[in-house]
Amino acid sequence: MKKRVILVTGTPCVGKTTLAKKLTAALNAQYINLTELAEKEHLAIGKDKERDTVIINEDKMRLKLKEIIENADAADIVIDGHYAAAVTPKTAVTRVLVLRRNPIELRELMQKCGFSQRKQDENLAAEILDICLVEALRALPKKKVCELDVSGKTVDDTLNEVLAILEGKKDCPIGCVDWLGMLEELGKVDEYLKT
């Protein structure tokens, strides 16, 4: 049985987990959250105290994902995490969904979640500079990467767009977001992109 492995990636607060769980339910897929997997399988090699994040052993994570994918009973597997493209075995990946969110909207969501100012600045910079998209394109062929602007959309709207892409009814967009250009037009680059 050929399995579809769908990665859902993007900066924190773009809606990865919410979409990944809805997609999992819609496809009757197996769901893997990389943060939970790293904790459960002891795949961390340390903690970055400055960023308050766990440092993952990428090689061990890659091996564990390969094992899970090979042994999965489900035809579809949804992997949720901002570094999913870097650690999922490349030959297994069917599609990478890179979620993007307008930085103005994103900052509001991060503030509601209680992110520190430093964490907000770092994640806003990652979103504005297309870091998750660039990482996905470095790891996988362009034809497997979809860039989805989720700004102002409901999760169901995004889910329907994703399902249409997976069913071949809609093209897989890429290059549809230019947050830096938008912020330049608004005169807000310095406010959102701290140097």
Q: What is the pTM of this model?
A: 0.93
- Per-residue pLDDT of 9-24, as tens digits, reads 999 999 999 999 999 9
The enclosing H or E element of 90 equals none
* Chain centroid, CA 169 distance in Å: 22
Position 59 scores a pLDDT of: 87
Report helix angle 117-128 to 131-139, nearest 10. Answer: 50
Task: Return the amino acid letter for 169.
Answer: K
**Mean pLDDT taken over the chain:** 92
The stretches of 88-178 forming alpha helices (DSSP H) are 103-112, 117-128, 131-139, 155-166
What are the boundaries of each domain within the chain?
4-192
- Per-residue pLDDT of 129-156, as tens digits, reads 999 999 999 999 999 999 999 999 999 9
Question: Going by CATH, does the domain composed of 4-192 fall within 3.40.50.620?
Answer: no
